[in-house]
Structure 1
Amino acid sequence: MANWTDPRATVAPPSSVGARADYDAGLRSYMLSVYNYMASGVLLTGIVALLFAPYARDVLINAAGTGMSGLGWLITLAPLAFIMVLSFGINRLATGTAQALFWAFAVVMGLSMSTIFITYTGTSIAQTFFATAAAFAGLSLWGYTTKRDLSGFGTFLIMGVVGILVAMLINIFLQSSAMAFAISVIGVLLFAGLTAYDTQRIKSIYSYVAGTDFMAKSVIMGALQLYLDFVNMFMFLLQLFGGRRD
């Protein structure tokens, strides 16, 4: 995220046995907090999406049924505003404010994602969710435990995400099913890679923030990164394998 520095080159873990044990215990607690926030955010988004789904068509779709309503576009784009505020303003935000913004972001994401219950069957949504959860767990575990430095992939992955966003905007006008399929396949691969990369990066950041006032806010930012990886991978998989309603 913006305004973060990669600490891997500047802070090394302690070398003594006792200090190392304390460091490892602190790291496990830190990562557990990140995962708890991330999982709670995903759960909150899912609950809001499910509860709002019966009203989604009336609120988010225009009267003609041909596209998004004005309120629909506002709700759809609102999560981006939360991401920008958290990413670029995290250093100036109080911890409580950052936490409130994270939960508000999860709620708004739930509102914007409620349309999946209109488009896809409940069974396919559940199957895709659990498949995504299993893939995410495996990829994140690999990113946490691997000795391989994944930092070199960061620029490539971020450039790929930018490319996907551009392609999605173009396809709004082209409405190409082949292009949509390619975007979904590449999107799954990119966010799979980002899951491992972000996990390793969050793990590395602990060395930099441990014992500082910024630690609690870095937990929120780490959870936001992994949340976005999970949700995007889920949405691309759903587009590929989700069973559509008649």
Structure 2
Amino acid sequence: MKFNLSSKLSLILSILGLLAPAGYLVGLNFHQGVLASYGIDSSIFSLSTYDVYVYAYFAFGHMILEMATQVVELLNLIFLPPNVYISIALFLAVVVFVYRMLVQKDNVNKKDCSRFILIARKSINYISPKNNRFTEALFLTSGLSYIGVTFLLFLASIAFFWFLLPQAAYSEGKDVSKYQLEKFYENGCNIPNGEEWSQCHKLIDSNGQVVLEGLLAAQNKDYVAFYTGTQSVVLKFPNSATLIKLRSNITKTSS
């Protein structure tokens, strides 16, 4: 019991050891994809390890949501009229086909077998690994080769997945920013009807003057980046400056 528990713990720790760097790469590439949408060099906005894993969490969330959306669309394609009738017809056709094959198999006996079937059976028995050493050697060699090729393909899949996942996170980051940019191009810094907050931020200096206004692309303790609609601007965060976000005058009415 102790040995099994120790083995399971070792397996879990090994998996976590692989997931930790994978998650870091996903979060980092997601962040880089977001900044790339604004044409901003990601090296300016370095991230802490904590922030990278937060980005990884959002990246996985967006990717899972996108996959779930694709699955829902596929299910709608299959189960909504008129495709649902086609799906049911195909399913019933397969059921009838399998049923007829099983019935024919039960009714067939040696007397009813054709000459071709008897010859085929004799041939199969002759080349069976149980009766033929050459076939046994062929099967053994093929099996070992299959295991070797499968193992190599498994390693190749892991390597491919290792690089594909960060690339997918990078693309997902660009898609998220693309959605924000589309809303910005549609409404600018105006607050759409029914929404509470503007999409834009303002950078106000210590004298109350607006330094920059636009879509906040990135921010850390040293730098801030805005997208104004025509260009991306990165500047050192001024001393005593503040970031504000406009709010509409929507008030809740009590019934």
Q: TM-score range by the shorter chain?
A: under 0.3
What's the TM-score, normalizing by structure 2? 0.26
Q: Kindly name which structure, 1 or 2, has the bigger radius of gyration based on alpha carbons.
A: 2
Higher strand residue share: 2
Between the two structures, name the one with larger relative contact order (CA 8 Å, sep ≥ 6).
Answer: 1
Higher helix residue share: 1
